[in-house]
Amino acid sequence: MKPSKSLRIILFFFTLVSLNSCDQNFLKVIPASFVKEYCSCLYVEKLDDKTCRNYAEQIIKVDRYYHNPEKKMIVATGLGHTATAFYTESRLGCHL
């Protein structure tokens, strides 16, 4: 059974209010988790780009992302926040 139009509108506004009152630091977790997973998969685990991209997207959805292989850097934006991860070295891995 499909919910009525008025119920869908109420749920939509409830969702908006909930997201608006959500702690902004919590929302930063989404892009940060994506870049950390993607970077670690590429540079620590040394898997191929396609595998790592699919792995990171499967876990966490972001609006957009950018991979700079020369700088070993991943940038992602999601829920209005942007995060960047850099690969430093094999012992330290990736950092935000």
Tell me the sheet residues that pair with 74.
67, 85
> Per-residue pLDDT tens for 29-58?
888 889 999 999 999 999 999 999 888 888
The model's pTM is 0.71
Cα separation, 28 vs 37, whole angstroms:
14
Q: Is the pLDDT of residue 19 over 60?
A: no
Instruction: Classify residue 84 as exposed, middle or buried by CB count within 10 Å of its CB (0-12, 13-18, 19+).
Output: middle
Grouping H, G, I as helix, E, B as strand and the rest as coil, residue 91 is coil
What's the confidence (pLDDT) of residue 69? 93
Which of the four pLDDT bands, split at 50, 70 and 90, describes residue 79? confident
What's the confidence (pLDDT) of residue 85? 95
Q: Is the pLDDT of residue 16 over 60?
A: no
Cα separation, 52 vs 37, whole angstroms:
8
What's the confidence (pLDDT) of residue 29? 80
Question: For the chain, how are helix, strand and coil distributed in percent, rounded to 5?
Answer: 50, 25, 25
Q: Say how many CA atoms lie within 13 Å of 34 toward its Cβ.
A: 26
What's the confidence (pLDDT) of residue 14? 62
Cα separation, 55 vs 51, whole angstroms:
6
Top-confidence residue, 39 or 24: 39
